Amino acid sequence: MNRPATLFGTDGVRGIANTEPMTAETALKLGRAAAHVFKHDDRRHRIVIGKDTRLSGYMLENALVAGICSMGVDALLLGPLPTPAVAFITRSLRADAGVMLSASHNPYMDNGIKFFSNDGFKLPDELERQMEAYIASGELDDIRPTAAEVGKAYRIDDAIGRYIEFIKNSFPKGMTLDGFKLVLDVANGAAYKVAPRIFTELGADVAVYSDEPDGMNINDHCGALYPEVVRKGVIDHRADVGISLDGDGDRCIMADDDATVVDGDHVLVLAALDLKNKGLLNNNAIAATIMSNLGLFRAMDDAGITVHRTKVGDRYVIETMREHGLNLGGEQSGHVIFSDYTTTGDGLITALQILRIMRETGRKLSDLRRAMPRYPQVLISVPVRDKPPIETLDGVQQAVRHVEQTLGNEGRVLIRYSGTEYLARVMVEGREERDVKAHAERISDAFRAALG
């Protein structure tokens, strides 16, 4: 069977379920390769497996288990839990690695496989390349443990309870959410069980949306990509805050009491100012991607906080944080990493940190979010048939130059390809929203003409 030489993208292996590379056959081979890579000595080794609520998760989970066990490594099954729960439980159980089955915010027909090392961080590129090489060469085909050396699979019955207590421990002891009315959208995804329990156990009055997954409704007009759900919910329930998670629970978009969206950039600004005021912001700096709103950079500059700019993708944010010794970083999309508590983005920790700031200051979120003046920003995703180097697309380059000359110092343009889908991303910022939209459409039209 033909298989691409490169399996791993910017966030693990991803594709349409039951087509290459997201097939049971490739999942089995990935399980075998991972088991071999993480098997260092003669002791019994263990790999944790979690998943979101996609229908294809059953197929891929069983294939992964078969591959892992066939190499003499045990598989520890968590069932549906958020991606950051897999990272945490891998560390908590001192397992050798963790695997999450999820395509994050993508529709249900997609799926993905991402790996964590025993420290809870995503795999470095060299280990991913090593696994690809094992699969391509077939050199693992003759490694076949037998008899008692075959691995076994078993469920971790207390996984939900472990993760809930871990998340609650990120909230100050003795502090409660008594008196808070929350609207919570769990995207029919991996957090549908744990998220309502966490906020309820902390004392909040919670109205829950999209908490009945059927294998096909994950992210279906709900969750972090559709904040209008919690915006309407805040109005209907006269709530203090709306909290919207994505399908695998690692990102969070919020709505304030005025039903205005509060995204990852707002969260970064509020958290950075809070940590700086307490003398807890490591190296007086944060990490944010090039897609962050100009308002974030202006707010941080005014506060004397350095921003380390990264490529788009939470793995690049985390790499930059580790390189510079930072304890805060994130993306506009809602991936925010509070490394004082965890190793990866966690939508529940993100929400609790904002609720903590609200509780400690006694201020509404509609008041707090004004710390970041938001510039009008338009992001358009253009379907493309392939991804040639953008600098070779003359029509696109001409459109970009025209828009940049028009904006001058009052805005900016960013164009790139998605790392997980056949899409070109066009982002334009400026002072006037109508002009920004027109500029973004001009560049998008150029992409459509070249690659549509």
Give catalytic residues, as residue numbers: 104
CA 23, chain centre distance (Å): 23
| Angstrom distance (rounded) from CA 35 to CA 144 | 12
Token code pair at residue 158: 């207390």
Kind of pairing between the strands at 285-289 and 328-330? parallel
Nearest to 119 by CA among 345, 346, 344, 347: 344
| Angstrom distance (rounded) from CA 386 to CA 413 | 22
Nearest to 230 by CA among 167, 187, 171, 180: 187
297 in Cβ contact with 307 (< 8 Å): yes
Nearest to 45 by CA among 55, 35, 53: 35
- Classified as helix, coil or strand, 66 is helix
Kind of pairing between the strands at 241-245 and 252-255? antiparallel
Nearest to 424 by CA among 415, 434, 433, 432: 415
Edge-first strand listing for the sheet containing 181-185: 205-209, 181-185, 241-245, 252-255, 261-262
Place of tokens 């190296």: 283
Cis (ω within 30 of 0) for the bond into 21?
A: yes
| Angstrom distance (rounded) from CA 312 to CA 326 | 18
| Angstrom distance (rounded) from CA 166 to CA 292 | 29
| Angstrom distance (rounded) from CA 25 to CA 64 | 9
Task: Please state whether 115 falls in left (phi above 0), alpha (psi between -120 and 50) or beta.
Answer: beta
Nearest to 427 by CA among 393, 395, 451, 403: 403
Nearest to 201 by CA among 224, 241, 233, 167: 167
Please give the C-alpha separations between residue 76 and each of 149, 322, 345, in angstroms, as whole numbers.
16, 28, 22
Nearest to 97 by CA among 121, 116, 110, 83: 116
